[in-house]
Amino acid sequence: MNKKILVVAAHPDDEVLGCGGTIAKFAKQGAEIHVMFLADGASSRDGSTLTLQDELKVRRAAAKKACNVLGVKSVSFDNFPDNQMDSVVLLDIVKVIESTISKYKPEMIFTHHSGDLNVDHRVVNKAVVTACRPLANNSVKTVLFYEIPSSTEWQIPSAYPVFTPNWFVDISVELVCKIEALQAYRDELRSWPHPRSVKGVEYLAHWRGATISVDAAEAFVLGRMLS
């Protein structure tokens, strides 16, 4: 696989939760994968004993470690306000994504689903869709939306579109790598039965796998595919 792939995530850990196994699988197949984080991932937190700058250093170090485990070629960070991306002019976010697309010219993009409970996820989805409009000079041919445990399934069904996957990637072999990468974010993990626990992530992968008769899978909604 010689494809260039861009993963656009609101926060560090979203890339592993949403498509970590797929990243690992495609990286092993020779894809060039870039990950960009848009929100700072820390400024909305209360009760931390660390300064904001120290919190950012910890979170970004974890992201680099996780992405290294998955085989990602490059990682970039922006500083949009955490859990407040709806306060930012959408065009400003779109321009950052367009600049990255122009730099790497990915053929495929993975990003958040439009129906997530987390407001940053919804804003990132809208910005990516805007940046990936099918113009003649846009390199992006395929746009896929991933699910995030404790955000996608927690949304009220009548409020936003429901995550109904129609694209699956078999990660039976790569699930171990996904969990190893997830361990870099140990401070973000919760205890079972929280969905953002190691066991919760494993159960979801096995359930998605069972729906297509494999041991483990990641599920996506196909937004657009040009061939």
Query: CATH no. for residue 144?
Result: 3.40.50.10320
Domain of 218, in residue numbers: 4-225
221 forms bridges with which residues in the sheet?
Answer: 145
How far, in whole angstroms, is CA 118 from its chain's centroid? Answer: 13
Average pLDDT over the chain reads 96
Phi, psi at 176, each rounded to 5°: -60, -40
Strands 108-112 and 74-80 turn out to be unpaired
pLDDT at 47 exceeding the cut of 70: no
pLDDT per residue over 180-205, tens digit each?
A: 999 999 999 999 999 999 999 999 99
pLDDT at 166 exceeding the cut of 80: yes
Contact 208, 218 (CB under 8 A): yes
Contact 181, 63 (CB under 8 A): no
Contact 19, 218 (CB under 8 A): yes
**How far are the Cα atoms of 30, 43, 88, 96, 108 from residue 79, in angstroms, in the given order?**
30, 9, 11, 11, 24
Count of domains for the chain: 1
- Reference 152, options 44, 29, 46, 18; nearest CA is 18
